[in-house]
Amino acid sequence: MMKRNRLKITIISIFVGLLVGAFILLAVGFNPLEAYAIMIRGIFGKPKYISWTIIKSTPLILTGISVAFAFRTGLFNIGAEGQFIIGALVATLVGYFWNLPPVIHAIVAILMACLAAAIWAGLAGFLKARFGVNEVITTIMLNWIALYLSNAIVFWDKFKRPNSEASQKILETASIRFPKGINFLGDFFRAPVNWGFIIAIIAAILIRHILKNTTLGYQLRAVGFNSDAAEYGGIDVKKNIVISMAIAGALSGLAGAVHVLGVTEEVSVLAAMEGNGFDGIAVSLIAANSSIGCIFAGLLFGGLKYGGYKIQPAMGAPSEIINIVIGIIVFFISMPKLIEMLTTLRVRRKRGGEIESK
């Protein structure tokens, strides 16, 4: 019953978002139906567009799961952005400097990226567990440290590609792209289709399994519900906070790794945050913190971003308007979830174990 309600609220929110976006388009003199038609054609018009939507969505799904996982255990991971950057950086370093056979190279690069991002996020978890420093503050600060660290390393002579603002490309052996020249499904495989989406689905199922069916998941959730009660129940709260942040970090690092190994094949100097991690927060909100839900929320979000921006050149609307409309849609989609979640969190904190015992 509860679940069905949630789905309903989400779907209504999407409609309200599209509706308000339509009013804004109308107000500035553009036909919203035409605009949305362009967006939908931009996503489904060709097999290639569908594959691009999936490619764009993959990192968002993973950062979404990362934020959702942390939230389920009572932590607000705003550091997905920085963890993504660290994951991307380490995957590129391993992908370029190490010489390993195909497949193994990619797996090692992914694992190293996850490990590095897990340590990165685990640091915020440690600071919270040991000194009580709020993870919101530390993860935001770690985002900037990650950004500048990544830039500093990209500027390193041995790593930087001459005459560019990017690193060297990863070796062929580290790539997780599907081989070129697959010709069925029209031009579906013209885009850099890769294993990332499948990895993201596996990650979603794995996280769901950990949370639902394992002792670790039970402990993590217990800490999320009410840390005092959990401690009273004999759970090591501090350890669980660190573990939770580390897993969340590993997921965001995985997002960065599949993005590099599957799509960009390099990291470039970042003038600003790219937003893969911040969008993950929105994805997690839309999905109501369900890891499986993040797959669909990520696809929705990726579709909005990939198809939505096609409205601009086709209709000649200023890009600011399109940004506002996409922003409004996202805002309405995530808003009810946010309110719902904040109220339940307050109730949880107030009533503690009561809900858990239900």
Binding site for other proteins (CB under 8 A): 5, 8-9, 12, 15-16, 19, 22-23, 26, 31-34, 42, 46, 48, 52, 56, 148, 151, 155, 163-166, 191-192, 259, 263-264, 268-269, 271-272, 274-276, 305-306, 309-310, 312-314, 316, 319
Nearer Cβ to other proteins (274/356): 274
Q: How far is the CB of 19 from other proteins (least distance, A)?
A: 6
Instruction: For the CB of residue 109, give the shortest distance to other proteins in the complex, in Å.
Output: 18
Which residue's CB is nearer to other proteins, number 10 or number 139?
10
Tell the burial category of 111 from Cβ atoms under 10 Å away from its Cβ (0-12, 13-18, 19+).
Answer: middle
- Closer of 108 and 166 to other proteins (Cβ): 166
Q: Which is nearer to other proteins, 23 or 44 (CB)?
A: 23
Nearest distance from C-beta of residue 97 to other proteins, angstroms? 21
Give the rounded distance of the alpha carbon of 150 from its chain centre: 19
100 vs 270, which CB is nearer to other proteins? 270
Measured CA to CA, the distance from residue 128 to residue 240 in angstroms comes to 11
Whole-number minimum distance, CB 117 to other proteins, in Å? 18
- Under a CB-based contact definition with an 8 Å cutoff, are residues 62 and 203 in contact? yes
CB nearer other proteins, residue 176 or residue 230: 176
CB of 125 to other proteins, least distance (A): 28
Cα 164 from Cα 318, distance rounded (Å): 30
Interatomic CA distance for residues 87 and 150, integer angstroms: 10
Q: With respect to other proteins, which residue has the nearer C-beta, 135 or 266?
A: 266
Least spacing, CB of residue 325 vs other proteins, in Å: 14
Q: Taking the complex as a whole, how short is the minimal distance between the CB of residue 323 and other proteins, in angstroms? A: 9
